[in-house]
Structure 1
Amino acid sequence: MADSLSEDDILEAVARHIGRPGQGPQLRRTGVDITRLPMLDLRIVRCVETRGTRQETRPGKYDISGRPTYEGELRDHPVQPPKDPAESRKVELVLHGSVRTVACGCDEGRQPCSRCRAKGKLPCETGPLCPACKGVEPCTWCDGTGERQDRAPAGPSGEKNSPGRTTCLKCRRPRTACPQCRGWGTEKCTRCDDTGFRVCPVCAGERSTEHTSCDGTGLVTLWTGGSVAHAPERSAVKLPDPAPPLRVRQRTGRTGAWERVTLTSVGEPVPDALDPAHVEAVEKALLPRPDEVARRADIGWLHLVAVAIPDDPDHVFYVFPGSDGPEVLPIWSRRRSLRIAAVVAGVVVLVLLVAALV
């Protein structure tokens, strides 16, 4: 476990970094500013459990003998959570004694066809109009109806017979029908052979179809099912806030000698080595959640220090424990960043002015 850096260790590490080894005490006399920024990385994975019951139905004689059973209330049935809290899992259960196979209530696995309404056939649209009579006068006797139509007499006998006409297929009257459609008024329909009806494509004329609820078996299996689901719920706490510069976070993540511990139970005490400024935040984050049945909390902390030297106002020196002793990472100070930003802005303005004059 890495220890917290003392001020002497910090100043000596900075002195070595700036090429003045052994002059840590002299840096103290120059009025250096040492700011401690302890870093915390807390990641929690909670296993949250949800339970529920429902009525289940399956067609036919459905075999559920392989499922575990429970008795009484599902909330009282013990189910072990997964060993890894990050694992998702769902356990399906059956209430003991609730399984039964009953008649479906259909007609031996059949149900009336909904497409043709149990008639076995569907109306068929008539074919195209006869190209000869256009459907206007297919038969002078019945007009394609098969029965005599009331109309004024067309000749001495009251009938409009014509040698060019033929016997009507509907009323059977000779020499009254169009010779091409023979009294139908339309061309012959190939789908229904001019019967006016076609076989229902759903039931194939059987008037009934297989009952889907029972798969045509006439039976259904019923039971009360219960499910216990475990799902991971993640949260994290990172301190300090605001966070150190990105370069510092990246460097400490790669080479920092972080102290770490893993907690797996509710109520486990936080590590004694944790910075006192972080204890309250960690304890609050570790409070149990509703329906939490397992957890894993990975806690990491690192002693980070920011050092400002009056002799070098352009840098802030970040010091932290590394694997081979204290490491130092210089970062531009706010003062230098603002000065550079001002220079860049001035150059941009100058370029714009020159461009405007050209």
Structure 2
Amino acid sequence: MADPLSEDDILEAIARHIGRPGQGPQLRRTGADISRLPMLDLRIVRCMEIRTTRQETRPGTYDTSGLPVYEGDLQDHPVEPPKDPAVSRTVQLVLRGSVRTLPCGCDDGRQPCSRCRAKGKLRCDIGPVCPACKGEEPCTWCDGTGERRRKRATAGSAREKPPAGRTTCVKCRKPRTACPECLGRGTKKCPQCDDTGFRVCPVCEGERSTEHTPCGGTGLVTLWTGGSVRQAPERTSLKRPEQAPPLRVRQQTGRAGAWERDILTSAGDPLPDGLDPAHAEAVEPVLAVRQGEVARRVDIARLQLAAVTIPDDPDHVFYVFPGHDGPQVLPVWSRRRSLRVAAVVAGVVVLVLLVVALV
């Protein structure tokens, strides 16, 4: 562990930064105020485990020899956690002695077709409308019904000369009454059923039955009690101080800070030496073992940070932290200066609005 920066180190670093090297003690005498703000970035990855059992079913004779076997209660069976607790995985197991292959109970691997209700065929839709008569007057005698249409003219008018170009109707057999394209049907010949009114069921292809899905057409099913061990990461983080420093400070300390880092891999590992007492108090409850936890990795990063104000420069707060090449200093506007700048900006905005209103 690196030694924390002393107050003398902090003040001398500020003196060098403002161009007054060697005058760190002078800053102390003029009333420099040092506030310690130790930073902590703690990240925990826990491997959490959930175990469940269920009845498994597979069609036919299913080989379970490739799955690990457990005996008794699944909760008592040892399963190694992954080497990296951030890795997710699921281990499937088989209860010893639970595997059975039984008859399915179907009709030799077949089941009645649900689409055609085991008939092998379906009713066919009416064919496309005749392009010549549009289906409106396929036969002047029966209108495509095969029977003399109602409200037909009197017998005398029926002997009138039929329309030219008509042919014998296939429905009522009346000569020179039907559309020559559809022969009185009103539709073109159906390409699916050849005008029989029925077509082959596309599901069973006329066989009236289909393969029984639960057994895959084998007539057998394999049953067993399966165990599942699900291991998945769960992440927790803790940052201090609770009132975070300004964004610029966080960014700069992340880039240039000489953070001390420790990794804990067991719930019994002690906390690092030199951890700030307030941080240790906040960390201990976060590190408590949780139900279902089987592995962990705790990354602890800490950095000594100090905020310094000096009477000679009331417009800045100087943040000092250890860097890779010695103490680093980052001046940030003080609250006083920020409020003053904000007031000036607000005054300019008001002035502009007044000018615009007058124009």
Report the TM-score when normalising by structure 1.
0.86
Give the letter aligned to residue 59 of structure 2. P
- CA distance in structure 2 between the aligned counterparts of 1:25 and 1:277, rounded to whole angstroms: 30
Partner of 1:354: 355
CA apart distance, 1:185:
7.8
Are the counterparts in 1 of residues 52 and 228 from structure 2 also a CA contact under 8 Å? yes
Equivalent positions of 1:270-309 (< 5 A) are 270-309=271-310
SS in 1 for 2:193: coil
Partner of 2:15: 15
Pair 1:185–1:282, CA change in 2 (3 A): closer
Partner of 2:269: 268
Number of corresponding residues: 346
- CA distance in structure 1 between the aligned counterparts of 2:274 and 2:226, rounded to whole angstroms: 49
Partner of 2:103: 103
Pair 1:161–1:117, CA change in 2 (3 A): farther
- CA distance in structure 2 between the aligned counterparts of 1:187 and 1:242, rounded to whole angstroms: 83
Pair 1:70–1:177, CA change in 2 (3 A): farther
CA apart distance, 1:231:
0.5
Partner of 2:51: 51
- CA distance in structure 1 between the aligned counterparts of 2:261 and 2:215, rounded to whole angstroms: 59
Matched, 1:64 2:64: yes
- CA distance in structure 2 between the aligned counterparts of 1:184 and 1:32, rounded to whole angstroms: 107
Pair 1:114–1:336, CA change in 2 (3 A): same
Partner of 1:213: 214
Partner of 1:256: 257
Pair 1:327–1:190, CA change in 2 (3 A): closer
CA apart distance, 1:125:
3.5
Pair 1:279–1:185, CA change in 2 (3 A): closer
Provide Cα deviations, 1:209-251, integer angstroms capped at 9, x if missing partner. 1122222122221111111111110111110011111111111
CA apart distance, 1:45:
0.5
CA apart distance, 1:133:
6.4
CA apart distance, 1:123:
1.8
Pair 1:125–1:14, CA change in 2 (3 A): closer
Give the letter aligned to residue 103 of structure 1. P
Are the counterparts in 2 of residues 163 and 175 from structure 1 also a CA contact under 8 Å? no
Report the TM-score when normalising by structure 2.
0.85
Partner of 1:148: none
Are the counterparts in 2 of residues 123 and 198 from structure 1 also a CA contact under 8 Å? yes
SS in 2 for 1:114: coil
- CA distance in structure 1 between the aligned counterparts of 2:352 and 2:325, rounded to whole angstroms: 49
SS in 1 for 2:349: helix
Provide Cα deviations, 1:79-126, integer angstroms capped at 9, x if missing partner. 000011111111111111111221122111111111110011112244
CA apart distance, 1:41:
0.8
- CA distance in structure 2 between the aligned counterparts of 1:184 and 1:15, rounded to whole angstroms: 107
Pair 1:61–1:177, CA change in 2 (3 A): farther
Provide Cα deviations, 1:10-68, integer angstroms capped at 9, x if missing partner. 22222222222222222112111111101111010000001111111111222221111
Partner of 1:338: 339
Give the letter aligned to residue 224 of structure 1. T
Equivalent positions of 1:322-337 (< 5 A) are 322-337=323-338
- CA distance in structure 2 between the aligned counterparts of 1:168 and 1:348, rounded to whole angstroms: 93
- CA distance in structure 2 between the aligned counterparts of 1:187 and 1:326, rounded to whole angstroms: 94
Equivalent positions of 1:74-93 (< 5 A) are 74-93=74-93
Q: Which runs of 5+ in 2 are unaligned?
A: 148-153
Are the counterparts in 1 of residues 141 and 174 from structure 2 also a CA contact under 8 Å? no
CA apart distance, 1:321:
1.5
Are the counterparts in 2 of residues 144 and 185 from structure 1 also a CA contact under 8 Å? no
Partner of 2:151: none
Partner of 1:199: 200
